A and B are shown apart, each in its own frame.
Chain A
Amino acid sequence: MSWFEVLTNAIEQAVGPQAVVYCLAAIGLNIHFGYTGLLNFGQAAFMMVGGYAVGALVQTWGQNLWLSILVGLLAAVVLALILGVPTLRLRADYLAIATIAAAEALRQILGAASLNDQFGGQDGRFGFTEALRDINPIPEGGVDLGIIQFRSYDFFIMLIGWVLVALLCVFIYLLMRSPWGRVLKGIREDEDAVRSLGKNVYSYKMQALVLGGVIGAMAGIMSGLATSNVAPSDFATDTTFFAYTVLLIGGAARVLGPVLGALIFWFFLNGLDLFFGKATSGTDPLIPSAIMDSNQASLMRLIVLGLVLMLIMIYRPQGILGDRRELAIDGR
């Protein structure tokens, strides 16, 4: 692999199916955290109910794919209600605790050996995307866009995904410029003040939790469709934190923040992996094996990413699209 291929591969990943998945997850989190100030640390749970509803309904119970997608979205609504009813009246940190615990509990349940027949244990569910592959209009040979190439099905998923992202961005733009969005932002700033003005804060927080959760389920469903597989390891706790990283890089409470964040995050996550992989391989590597061997190189991307996240939080806490003035006010 040449250095040029390292670059093109990174670009392919930056717009690829995985970037779509994390972009959607971050859009959901943006409604929770960015606009409403809800600390949801269990976005993986919303992704999981979406993904598993589709995987299990189609593979285990032989249901129609499209119907299963609808059920997956409804399942996210139910999960949001279950998490929200007891916690949204309490202080913000209770939601954080409940969501992170729920995500991990759900993951353990779905991956349990005793539910192997229904959910497939650690292997999860797979091969449930036939209905979608059948309607794939992209030529079988894939798509060649000059320096980057995609396989046919991947490109189809990306197409659906980015169109969905675009539609959601328009929807969120419309929502957030409206009085409804103003109430959410008011709640983020000070919910008692909003209460004192006659707004039912609990109801608005619930609406935000449901909306962001449903978008999270879309991310889980896209993830399942893209890889034709849903497994417990796809929805570990770090999934949620990757989504937060995407959001914070791009800028919270900005409509396009998650989109830009997802592109950058996946470009660097894969670019760094390929770079260090290449730099430590071969007979005369760029980085001498005394400093780093190829096994160690695979960890470098997360180390560098952690460093970048720290630097962003210190020097540009509002993210790339954020407004510094707004954040300066926060400290007063």
Chain B
Amino acid sequence: MGADTMNEKHETAHGGGDVILVADGVTRTFGGLKAVDVDHFEIPRGKITALIGPNGAGKTTFFNLLTGFDKPDEGSWTFNGQSLSGVPPYKVARRGMVRTFQLTKVLSRLTVIENMRLGATGQKGERFLPSVLRFLWQGQEDANTERAMDLLRRFKLDAKKDDFAGSLSGGQRKLLEMARALMVDPELIMLDEPMAGVNPALKQSLLGHVKSLRDEGRTVLFVEHDMDMVRDISDWVVVMAQGKIVSQGTPDAVMSDPAVIDAYLGAHHDAELTFDMESQIEAEAEQEIAAETEENR
């Protein structure tokens, strides 16, 4: 009904192009805390969108809601025009929207190549009885393995293919998770803090990989709390603070938005945030002090 007018509105919202995902009125409360309260959110197709915000802003919770891993109190959202409300996570993935996790979830006691093969969709050998007859799925398995090896070479993990995934370093796990998500061949790939806990040298290469995803025609949404990280690579930035979206726009526009500076950059403009609890508590304390001095002035 109102789809046309909606789309028009979106086009103006992020400077042309259509949107792949639209969310409206999504809320989620934990006890008395309103962790997510998003009026309107959209992801432009074929671009890199960064979802940023200070720790505790509700980014990951929002992420979980969109991918079906958590249920919202209310709200609706569509992917490629189809509603995703109440759709279980595995169906969300099958529709072409695949996520990774902040705390990397590699399957430790499977080898790297088995992790990759698991990502392939529509496998005949994954049905109970046909799985016993190897000739039914061998061809498909070979094709999947070939595709997996291509991806592993791209992410420079091909030498590790027969190692247990649990023996990889933190950064390699991030790469494996990203590569495994690509085995699903998603239209929209959602990366939850791909840079967290990764050393600076690997960060650059990870950023390169994120860019390459866009260059091959995929849409990327990634969560990050370090503003500097997203400036280079994102086309569109959405800023969350205390569960709400406080600003969105191009990286430059967002960075000069006073609302963003208030909510986020003001307190730790140069400080690089990490997600361990200690610095989170510190950051929160700093924020409070900053707010108080603001008031006193």
Contacts and interface: CB of A to CB of B under 8 A. Distances in A.
Interface of A: 171, 174-175, 177-183, 185-186, 188-190, 192-201, 207, 211, 325-326, 329-330, 332
Given A189-B108, A196-B100, A197-B98, A330 B166 contact: yes
Interface in B100-115: 100-101, 105-110, 114
A197 B69 contact: no
Contact of A198 (B69, B93, B127, B131): B93
A197 B128 contact: no
Given A180-B126, A197-B98, A329-B164, A186 B184 contact: no
Interface stretch (B117-125, B227-235, B242-250, B274-282): B117-125
29 contacts: A174-B131, A178-B125, A179-B117, A179-B131, A180-B127, A182-B114, A182-B118, A182-B126, A183-B118, A185-B107, A185-B109, A186-B118, A189-B108, A192-B101, A193-B105, A194-B118, A195-B69, A196-B67, A196-B69, A197-B121, A197-B181, A197-B183, A198-B90, A198-B91, A199-B126, A325-B164, A326-B164, A329-B166, A332-B166
B90 A201 contact: yes
A179 B141 CA distance: 8
B128 A195 contact: no
B132 A174 contact: yes
A180 B125 CA distance: 6
A175 B107 CA distance: 19
A253 B172 CA distance: 26
Question: Which 5 residue pairs across A and B have the least CB separation, nearest first?
Answer: A329-B166, A180-B131, A179-B125, A198-B93, A178-B131
Nearest to A170: B132
Given A180-B131, A189-B108, A197 B118 contact: yes
Contacts of A201: 90
B94 interface: yes
A189 B111 CA distance: 12
B80 interface: no
Contacts of A195: 69, 88-90, 93
B119 A197 contact: yes
B137 A196 contact: no
A326 B164 CA distance: 8
A120 to B, nearest CB: 36
Nearest to B124: A179
B110 A186 contact: yes
A193 B67 CA distance: 12
Interface residues on B, range: 35 or more
Contact of B107 (A174, A177, A180, A190): A190
Contacts of A183: 118, 126
A263 B43 CA distance: 60
Given A178-B125, A195-B93, 11 more contacts: A177-B134, A180-B131, A190-B105, A192-B105, A193-B105, A193-B107, A197-B93, A198-B90, A329-B167, A330-B108, A332-B166
A185 B134 contact: no
Contact of A179 (B100, B101, B137, B166): B137
Nearest to B141: A179
A186 B126 CA distance: 12
B225 interface: no
A178 B98 CA distance: 24
Contacts of B125: 178-180
Contacts of A178: 125, 131-132, 134, 137
Interface string B240-279: 0000000000000000000000000000000000000000
Contact of B93 (A180, A186, A196): A196
Contact of A200 (B90, B124, B181): B90
A239 to B, nearest CB: 27
B117 A182 contact: yes
Contacts of A174: 131-132, 134
B108 A332 contact: yes
A193 B110 CA distance: 13
Given A186-B110, A198-B121, A325-B164, A193 B101 contact: yes
A207 B164 CA distance: 26
B151 to A, nearest CB: 14
B180 A197 contact: yes
A199 B109 CA distance: 18
Interface in B190-220: none
Contact of A207 (B101, B107, B128, B137): B128
Highest count of chain A CB atoms <10 Å: which of B110, B132, B134 = B132
Contacts of B67: 196
A196 B164 contact: no
B166 to A, nearest CB: 3
A250 B92 CA distance: 40
